[in-house]
Structures are given as C-alpha cells and as structure tokens.
Structure 1
Amino acid sequence: MGKMNVTNDTMLSLFAEMVLDEAVRNFKEKRLYQEIDHALASGDESSFLALTTELNLLRSQVK
C-alpha cells in the first residue's frame, strides 16, 4: 500500500509541475505580446526584433 501512495504522490507532483510550467509559459507569452505591441506603437524596431525572437524561441520550446 505504501508503494502505491508514493507512485500517486509522484504522479500528482509531476502533473502539478506540468500545470505550473504551462501557466508560467502562458504568462511569459502574454507579457511578450504586450511588449511587442508597445515596441510597435513606439516604433522601436530593435526591441521589436529582440522580443519577437524571444517569443519564437519560447514557442519552439513548447511540446
């Protein structure tokens, strides 16, 4: 019975980590979109390019 609890705890811990990772990734993506919009509005080409590169890197790390 003890082994089963350890297995369930491990699975729940992994699931919680996955949910947290997804939430952090979504937060970063939303923040990048806001910063990209700001860079576009202010005509800051270098920030726009850096931020879109960062966004593309973040997206490539998913799944």
Structure 2
Amino acid sequence: MCSPWWVERILRGIGTDTIGFKLGEQTLTAKLPHRYTSDRLSPDGMIKLTFNPTDAHFV
C-alpha cells in the first residue's frame, strides 16, 4: 500500500504510533509499529505510508 496522505494527528504510544490521516474525503486512523514511523513525522505534513497491510490495524 503506497499513497500520499495528509497527516492530521499523531499519538505516540508504547510500541506503536496512532496516526490520523486524511485520504480524500475520508479520515482514517492507523496504528503502526515504531519501526514504520519517523521522528520527522508531523501533523499537516504529506506522507507516504508504505507497509505490509497485515502489520497495520486500521480503525
């Protein structure tokens, strides 16, 4: 899965980061292991999420 998305919020947790992002009209939330995120990740930035979908839980 690889697509440019706008980050709306980031909640840093123990072992995982919860990232809220906007894809077109939809707002989605993903919980990703720390190894898939960067310290440079910031709200209002455009990112590409590239990961194995089985490693992420979409809410």
Query: Is TM-score (shorter-chain normalized) higher than 0.5?
Result: no
**Which structure's residues are more often strand, by fraction?**
2
Q: For this structure pair, what is the TM-score category when the shorter chain's length is used for normalisation?
A: under 0.3
Larger radius of gyration: 1
TM-score, scaled to structure 2: 0.20
